[in-house]
Structure 1
Amino acid sequence: MGKYARLRQRLLAELPEVKMQEALPASRDELALVHALSYIDAVATGSLSAAAQREIGFPWSPAMAERARRSVGATLQACRSALSGGWLAANLAGGTHHAYADKGSGFCVFNDFAVAARLMQSEAPGLRVAIIDLDVHQGNGTAAIFAHDPTVFTLSLHGARNFPFRKEPSDLDVELPDGCADVEYLEALERALDELERRFEPDLVLYLAGADPHEGDRLGRLKLSFDGLEARDRRVMDWAWQRRLPLAFAMGGGYGHDPEATVQVQVNTYRTALEYASHWAVMAPARGTVAGSTHWHNAAA
Structure 2
Amino acid sequence: MQAFYSDQFVLPLPEGHRFPMAKYRMLRDRIAAELSSIQLTEAPAATEGELALVHTPAYIDSILQGTAEPAVLREIGFPWSPAMAERALRSVGATVAAARVAMTEGLAANLAGGTHHAYAHKGGGFCVFNDLAVAARVLQAEWGRSRHPDGSRRQPLQVAVIDLDVHQGNGTASIFRHDESVFTLSLHGDKNFPFRKEDSDLDIPLPDGCADAEYLSTLEHALQELEGRFTPGMVFFLAGADPHEGDRLGRLKLTADGLEARDRRVLDWCWQRRIPAVITMGGGYGVNLEDTVGVQLNTYRVAASYRSRWAGLLVAA
TM-score by length of 1: 0.94
Per the TM alignment, residue 286 of structure 1 is displaced from its structure 2 partner at its CA by 2.9
Cα distance per residue 1:61-101 (max 9 Å; x no partner): 000000000000000000000002x1110000000000000
Gaps of 5+ in 2: 1-20, 145-155
Tell me whether 1:266 sits opposite 2:293 in the alignment.
no
Report the counterpart of residue 190 of structure 1 in structure 2.
Answer: 220
Aligned equivalents of 1:39 and 1:58: distance in 2?
15
Residue identity matched to 2:279: F
1:140-159 mapped onto 2 (5 Å cutoff): 140-159=170-189
Aligned equivalents of 2:136 and 2:79: distance in 1?
28
Residue identity matched to 1:203: G
Tell me whether 1:124 sits opposite 2:143 in the alignment.
yes
Per the TM alignment, residue 150 of structure 1 is displaced from its structure 2 partner at its CA by 0.5
Report the counterpart of residue 195 of structure 2 in structure 1.
Answer: 165
Per the TM alignment, residue 21 of structure 1 is displaced from its structure 2 partner at its CA by 1.0
Residue identity matched to 1:97: H
Per the TM alignment, residue 11 of structure 1 is displaced from its structure 2 partner at its CA by 0.4
Per the TM alignment, residue 20 of structure 1 is displaced from its structure 2 partner at its CA by 1.2
Aligned equivalents of 1:278 and 1:225: distance in 2?
26
Tell me whether 1:10 sits opposite 2:30 in the alignment.
yes
Cα distance per residue 1:181-217 (max 9 Å; x no partner): 0000000000000000000000001000000000000
1:51-62 mapped onto 2 (5 Å cutoff): 51-62=71-82
Report the counterpart of residue 230 of structure 1 in structure 2.
Answer: 260
Aligned equivalents of 1:36 and 1:285: distance in 2?
42
Q: Which consecutive aligned stretches of 4+ in structure 1 deviate over 6 angstroms post-superposition?
A: none
1:174-213 mapped onto 2 (5 Å cutoff): 174-213=204-243
Aligned equivalents of 2:314 and 2:193: distance in 1?
40
Two-structure CA RMSD over aligned residues (Å): 0.5
Aligned equivalents of 1:116 and 1:75: distance in 2?
6
Aligned equivalents of 2:307 and 2:53: distance in 1?
30
Tell me whether 1:139 sits opposite 2:169 in the alignment.
yes
Aligned equivalents of 2:102 and 2:198: distance in 1?
29
Tell me whether 1:93 sits opposite 2:112 in the alignment.
yes
Gaps of 5+ in 1: 288-301
Q: Out of 271, 285, 288, which is 1:255 matched to?
A: 285
Report the counterpart of residue 129 of structure 2 in structure 1.
Answer: 110
TM-score by length of 2: 0.90
Instruction: Describe the SS at the equivalent of 1:205.
Output: strand
Aligned equivalents of 2:299 and 2:272: distance in 1?
18
1:61-80 mapped onto 2 (5 Å cutoff): 61-80=81-100
Aligned equivalents of 1:115 and 1:201: distance in 2?
20
Aligned equivalents of 2:58 and 2:65: distance in 1?
10
Residue identity matched to 1:114: A
Aligned equivalents of 1:204 and 1:156: distance in 2?
16
Per the TM alignment, residue 173 of structure 1 is displaced from its structure 2 partner at its CA by 0.2
Report the counterpart of residue 61 of structure 2 in structure 1.
Answer: 41
Aligned equivalents of 2:301 and 2:49: distance in 1?
35
Aligned equivalents of 1:178 and 1:238: distance in 2?
27
Residue identity matched to 2:91: S
Residue identity matched to 1:100: Y
Aligned residues: 286
Report the counterpart of residue 315 of structure 2 in structure 1.
Answer: 285
Instruction: Describe the SS at the equivalent of 1:124.
Output: helix
Q: Out of 259, 271, 276, which is 2:306 matched to?
A: 276
